[in-house]
Structures are given as C-alpha cells and as structure tokens.
Amino acid sequence: MRVLQVVKTALVLWLAALLPAAAQEARPNIVLILADDVGFSDFGAYGSEISTPNIDALAARGTLFSNFHASPICAPSRAMLMTGVDSHLAGIGNLPESAPPEHRGQPGYLGRLADDVVTVASRLGAAGYRTTMTGKWHLGHDETSLPPAHGFARSFALDASGADNWEKKTYLPIYDDAPWYEDGKPANLPDDFYSSRFLVDKTIEYLEESKDQGRPFFSYVAFQAVHIPVQAPREFIEKYEGVYDEGWDALREARFLAVIERGLLPDGMALGAMPEGLRDWNERSEEEKRFLAKSMAVNAAMLEAMDFHIGRLVDYLKETGQYDNTVFIVLSDNGPEPGDPTATPGFSQWLWWTGYARDYETLGEKGSYAFIGPEFASAAASPGAFFKMQAGEGGLRVPLIVAGRGIAREGTTSAFSYITDIAPTILDLAGVAATPDFGGAPVREMTGRSLAALLRGDAGRVRGETEAVGIEAAGNAALFRGDHKLVRNARPYGDGQWYLHDLARDPGETRDLSEAEPALLAEMMAEYEAYAARVGALEVPDGYDQTAQLTTNRVNDQLAEKWPVLVLIVLALGGLVWAGIRFGPRLWRG
C-alpha cells in the first residue's frame, strides 16, 4: 500500500508540471525555514543579544507572532508542520527513538508519517509547484518515508534527530552514522561541509536548475542550528567571547526585559522560574564559568551563522527577481535543548572513541562537541518556564515570523497559533484546496487553522474563546483554551502534576489557579482526556525517562537485529566448552 502511495505521488507531480505557466506565475513562492531548538527570545527581533539581521529584516516587513506554540519535541513538531495534522494522528506522537516499547507500532506511534496523511509538499506539487527540501527530515527511515515519497521533487535530507555540522558523522551512540540522502539515495558530504552553508547552497542549486520552468516553488530549509552538537566557524564564535561571562541568570533577566520592552508579552508579568535542581552560577569555579560561557558563545555563533546563510538565500532571490513574489515563514520546532550528554555514563568515553574533543580553544570548531546545558537553555527560553522536552511555555512557545507577498506589516500579533496551522496557511496563501482525498484515496482532515486572514490583516484571531487545542509528547501535556492553559510537565524537570495558568496575565506560569478555579480545572481536564482519546495519545508508563529510553531502545534494537549471530556465537562457545570438558583430560594425558 505504501509503495502504491509513492507511485501515486510521483504521477501527481508529473501531471502538475503540465499546468499552464501563466497559472503558475500568479502564485507566490514559499520559503519555509525551520530552526532547530531555537528559544522564544533567541532572535534579535524577539529581544536577543544574538545578531540575526536577516531574520529581523523579515520580521520588520511582516508579522511577528508572540503566542505561537509547537510540540516540545522535534519529530512530532515536524510531522505537524508538514501535514497540518495532530502528531498522533500523523503517526509520530513521540520521538521515535525514545518511545516506550508498549507504544511502538500503535497508530499514534508509528515512527513515520501515517499512510492517510498527506504533506503540504505533496499538495503543492500536485498544484504545479516546484518542491525542494534540505536539512533534517526525521519522519521515517525507509525509502517510502523519505522526502521523495512525500512530495519533494528534489531533496538532500538528514534522516536522524541530528548530526555533526562539519562532517558526515553521528552525534550520538544510538546511530551508526549520519544518514544523509539526496533524492532518497544515500549521499556523501563535501570536504568543506558546514551544515548551514551547505543547506542553502543545495537549495539555491535546486532552484537554479528549475528556474526556467515558469512555475512557483516551495522550498523547505530545515537547519541543524542550534541542535547539539553546537558548532560554528571561528569567525562567528569570536564575536561572542566574553558576552556570556555574567552567566545564565543575567542573561535570563536581560532577555526578559527586552521582550517586555518590545511589547511581545504583557508588562507586569513575572519571569518564569527555572526548574528546581539546576546549578547556581555563583557556585561554579572560574574555569567552569569560562567553559560554560564559551559554550553559549558557540551557540550564539551557530545561530548567527544560520542567519548569515539565510541572507545568502534572500540575496539570491533578489538577484533573480523572485524575492518580491516570495513568502517567508521562519519558526523553531521546539524550545532550547537542555541536554548534557556527558552526564550519561560512558558518553565521554564514546566522544573520545569517535574523535570528538571538548577543548576550550577549539570548542565549536571541526572535531569539537559543545552544548549549552539546562541553565543556559532556560535563559534562551526566557521569559518562559522550562525548555525543550517539557510542556512549560519555555518548551512550547517559540518564534514565528511570516513576511512577503500579500502579508500585512502587522508588527506583532498575540493571537494563539499552533504548528498545525502552518500547512493550511501555506495552502491558503498558494490558493490550493486541502481536499478530503489525494491521489484517489481519502486522507485525514487537517486539524490546524489557516492564519491567512490574520496575516492579511482581516482578522485578529483564528480560534474562538472556547476552542481547545491539545498537545502531548512523551508524557508532557497541555491544553490551551482562550487565555488559559492546563499543563503537565514530566520528569526529570517536572513533577507529573497538572497545573492551571492564565497566560494572558502570567505567561511565565508562576501562579497555579487549580485551587482558585476548580470548575475550570475540571472542564479543561475533561477536554484534555477527550483530546487524548480522539487522537490516540497514550500515557507513558510509570518511571518513564525519555533520555534513558533512548539507550534502552538502542540496545534492544541491536539485540533484535543481531540475535541470530549472538545465538551462533553462544552455541560455538558452548561447543568449545563441551569439547574441552569431554576431550580435554584425554588430550592432557595424551
């Protein structure tokens, strides 16, 4: 059935190429830029000290969203971004690598896009768009799950949660290598590879080779910045050395004040609390502080390098006369990454074994391995609480900027929006209908709402006060309704309990309203349970730890894959032992 789906998609794309050129030229080009693990206040336009002039320029000529949310985990966010359908209905309710064994294979946890969902690329391709994709895919591993099977005519995709930014090299021991594919076939990387530069180079290459077809394009650029390992060219790193010497508390406060000054969040709100148990900057040694500040400098440099290469793509579109007819959408897949891989036993040894170093002088450069940890991640999410892999605002509320043809210069909108809204918005802007069938087969209806009316300045919001939106990933859960949010943060940073917050007055989630408004709490709990049942969101087992499950799943998968060889080895060893016992004494007496 899945092979048939691939054939149907290819046929639809071929037929679309035959559409009259005049019909194609009336539609806008669309560039979808996805940053990885970028926090709410990480872009300059959102109050950051990091230089992102090209992204900021897009914000200045379009609409900046201050109340946009994603999943707390990358793969579910990417599934919703591509399909406009809730992550469980799309088949990717959790990070595939860390799903509990009892969830694996269930409808909401297939680890790939479900057969009855269709991507925005497939729909646009069927309507005559040229479609390209570069960067992290992470939506399934076999050939029927890669970008060519989901509407992308050209693609250079990473089929993993991350990889090295300087060479074809894995970044975690759960992977054997860095699986890059061009147009669905295994691919190598050039000797001068740096992820952000290469992904823009490839995008330009794909657009250039089809520029004379007279058709609009949809280009999806999924950067690795700023996912672990945090890496950047030295010339960018040097700009930020010394910037973070005051530590994470000072940065959280500075970001908080900058966000308020820009009017992105309400004046008078309280800064979200850092999770309990994190380190105290003032108790770090001077050597530790120096290394931690350098790590954050590398993170900032990686983000600026991404922005620099986005500028190269913008320049190319201007030089080729395509810029004025292009809509840009820039967002992040979730909040900042808090992980410290070296806290896992054996990881430092694995780094040494694979040739990674953590020397101060070369941190961020080729061969190095850097990350910012939970404290600086909390600062990057400021003013929100928590970060990636948690359902607090720091993990869910991320930047979104939309600019270009037909987009009003609205400045900032505080309308609630969700990552499922992006696909229907793109289709709306392109004048493509989200039909209930595709390629002759019925498909799931999108759960997201188009933001087009809001972007044109014709509406102030796209959802009513009583319309609820649910989120669940790895036991972290939330339900948004009007100004209120019901939330549960799983361990290790949360306590697994439900809380109720008024985000209009308290985006930092500092005041729990559960006792003050028990009726509202009960209503929203019932709505969450209905949502979970509707989409197939399963409860994680007691004691579930997402990071630990990554390792456990890897070991179990390896054993399942190699058990015949292990059985032969055991039998061979058993035979040798038996032979030694049976014949050894006779041979010795010999």
| Active-site residue list | 74, 138
Distances (CA, A) of 288 to 123, 134, 145, 152, 300: 51, 37, 43, 46, 19
Burial of 581 (0-12, 13-18, 19+ CB in 10 A): exposed
Cα separation of 174 and 559, whole Å?
A: 13
Query: Two tokens at 218?
Result: 């949809």
Cα separation of 36 and 364, whole Å?
A: 17
C-beta separation of 272 from 384 below 8 A: yes
Helices (H), 214-280: 234-237, 248-261
Cα separation of 36 and 74, whole Å?
A: 8
What b/e readout covers 425-437, taking b as 16+ CB neighbours within 10 angstroms?
A: bbbbbbebebeee
Cα separation of 507 and 153, whole Å?
A: 41
Q: What are phi and psi of 341, to 5 degrees?
A: -60, -30
Distances (CA, A) of 487 to 94, 275, 475, 532: 17, 15, 11, 14
Q: Which amino acid is at 293?
A: A
C-beta separation of 120 from 425 below 8 A: no
Strand partners for 470: 479
Cα separation of 164 and 170, whole Å?
A: 6
- The residues, any chain, with a CB within 8 Å of residue 380's CB and separated by 6 or more, are 38, 39, 40, 41, 42, 255, 299, 335, 336, 372, 387
Q: Name the pairing type of β-strands 180-182 and 468-473.
A: unpaired
Cα separation of 244 and 293, whole Å?
A: 5
Distances (CA, A) of 41 to 258, 259, 271, 328, 550: 9, 7, 13, 19, 29
Q: Which amino acid is at 148?
A: P
Cα separation of 464 and 365, whole Å?
A: 49
Q: Which amino acid is at 135?
A: G
Query: Two tokens at 307?
Result: 């922005």
Number of other residues whose CB lies within 10 A of the CB of residue 445:
12
Cα separation of 548 and 267, whole Å?
A: 40
Task: Say which DSSP state 397 is in.
Answer: B
Can you tell me whether residue 332 is helix, strand or coil?
A: strand
